[in-house]
Structure 1
Amino acid sequence: MKQTAKTLPAPLLRWAEERIGAVAAVRDASHDWDRSRVWELEGTGGVSWYLKVSPSEKFYLRESRAYRHVVPALGHTRAPQLVDCQARGDAEASLDAAADGAEKYLARARDRLTEDEWQLIRDHAARLRRVGPVPVGHIHGDNQPRNWMVFEGVLALIDFERARPAACVQDFIILTATQWADHPDREKAFFRGYGRSLTDAERQALRCLTVLDAVNCLAWGPDNGDELVTARVRRTLDRLMREERP
């Protein structure tokens, strides 16, 4: 027996209308089982859209990847076209998530920070929430020379275990703290190859993220006996403190 029609939650309706415009009518299109949640949305001009809440993270990842990578090869006349998915929402929220994590690392590294350093980190966590929109995408997550391989002048990447949807600028944190810190020529060369410069919001975000990464590493390095990471982060904090002073 068909279950009672499922109501589309108001936050989901707002999310949909931000992407497709005004919705004139909503129809429950779920399958006849309790975990199925699908709605048909009628837009302007009688165009139909479907909004689905996946029953599990595993199914969500499988289906969203298929729509992003398989459907374009099939052609949009042979399968539905993906307009948007929550992965983009996760990416857009990645800067707030980084700011949220600052307090956890501050608690772990509190006795390794001066009062001024502690305040510097809290200030940059607050600033990160105010930088405004930045480009988002699927980042590598551990972008640094140990994960680069060059074949006949072509750069290849390995080790994708930290790849995820996020603000694109988050892929430059490690490079900022290591490869570019004393070699601005390397940074210029990188962005020539990248194909564009950072936006003002991205530059602000990158500075904040570099500060937050420092406290993350200061919590992790000594706890795991990694003297190289610990020394690197101390240099980063010292440099940032000098730059912040009038």
Structure 2
Amino acid sequence: MTQNANAARLPADVLDWVSSQMGDVVDALDTSWPRETSRVWCVTSSTGRAYVKISPSASDFTQEIGGYSYAKRALPEPERPRLLSTHDGLKALLSSLQPGVVMRGLPLEPAEELSAHTEAGRLLRRWHDHSGAAPVEDRDVARKRVTELADEARACRPSMSELLDPFQVSLLTAAANELPELAERNASVTCHGDFSTRNWLWDRSSMRLGVIDFERTGPGYIVEDMVWLYGALWLTRPSLRRAFFDGYGRALSGHEERLLQLLTVRLGVSYWHTGLTTGRDELVERGRLGMDLLSKHLDPEDRV
């Protein structure tokens, strides 16, 4: 087998498997995100290029295979990668490259950025609409998870109340009390599960957007695919929200908007609380910033 030193950074058994699928690997660029559970390489072989990913667990591996299957049905090929091969024992997936580059951190002119967010809205609407009527078991899964998030918010409240201002405490209380009822009032769909700009690929030549990473694909509520966008972008950049929903094709209902707000509250407090209990200052800062943004930007009627 011909390989360079960079290719050797792949685990030997994974390298052998990829070579059996693609021919001799001559390069393997580590493209993992900076977290322990992310293990992804862009591999170049004698026959072409592809991505290889090692899932962190057997359940993640199974869920991502299901996500690829759903993506194939819901989206045209330019908007999603093809699953080329899998290896159960290695929990490894081999997938095709897509046009474009990751959106997060990509310097774009304002008009182009708005276009990208409009395309993201269109893509997500196609993704959600493909769900059709969710079966009972999927609705139960979605409802159970949101109820567990409400329980988490309730459990965090005693230790976090002294660190939050009165309005933030009221938001945390609302998350604990209202999330289960809101789950009953919202229809469940198949969510992407991590629909953030780090998983968007923007192709400047075609002005089209694609999506990657399906290990969290599963039953949920449409706004669960918008929590990161809401907390990280929309609160301070409403023009991006307008562009996104121009593409999505409809505004959120009142129940959907409230679910989005309170899921974002739960996430912010969860970051903060987890950071305090694990000594991770970056999580504390992320949670504090998120809660401060919510306090500043929620409309007066949302403060009740």
Q: Which residue pairs with 1:110 in the alignment?
A: 160
Q: In the TM superposition, what is the alpha-carbon distance from 1:85 to its structure 2 partner?
A: 4.5
**In the aligned structure 1, how far is the partner of 2:170 from the partner of 2:246?**
35
Unmatched tracts of structure 1, length 5 or more: 1-57, 73-81
TM-score normalized by the length of structure 2: 0.48
**Cα distance 1:135–1:245, how it changes in 2: closer, same or farther (>3 A)?**
closer
- Choose 1 or 2 for highest CA Rg: 1
| Partner deviation per Cα, 1:68-107 (whole Å, 9 max, x = no partner) | 97xx9xxxxxxxxx99351232124443232122234446
Structure 2 residue corresponding to 1:137, chosen from 171, 179, 189: 189
Shift of 1:119: 4.3
CA distance in 1, matches of 2:235, 2:199: 19
Change (3 A) 1:208 1:110: same
Rounded to whole Å, the distance in 1 between the matches of 2:147 and 2:253 is 18
Q: Which digits, 9 at most, give the CA deviation of each residue in 1:161-210, with x for residues without a partner?
A: 22221111111111111011210010011111122211111011111111
Distance, in Å, in 1 between the alignment partners of 2:134 and 2:160 is 44
Residue of structure 1 equivalent to 2:135:
84
Q: Which residue is equivalent to 1:126?
A: 177
Contact 2:235 2:294 in 1 (8 A): no
SS in 1 for 2:185: coil
Please give the secondary structure, in 2, of the residue aligned with 1:130. Answer: helix
Tell me: CA distance 1:87–1:185, structure 2 relative to 1, closer, same or farther (3 Å): same
Q: Report the count of equivalent residues.
A: 170
TM-score with structure 1 setting the length: 0.58
Q: 1:159 to 1:105 in 2, by over 3 A?
A: farther
Check conservation: 1:92, 1:167, Cα contact below 8 A.
Answer: no
Secondary structure, counterpart of 2:210 in structure 1: strand
Aligned identity (percent) is 29
Q: Give the letter for the 1:184 counterpart.
A: P
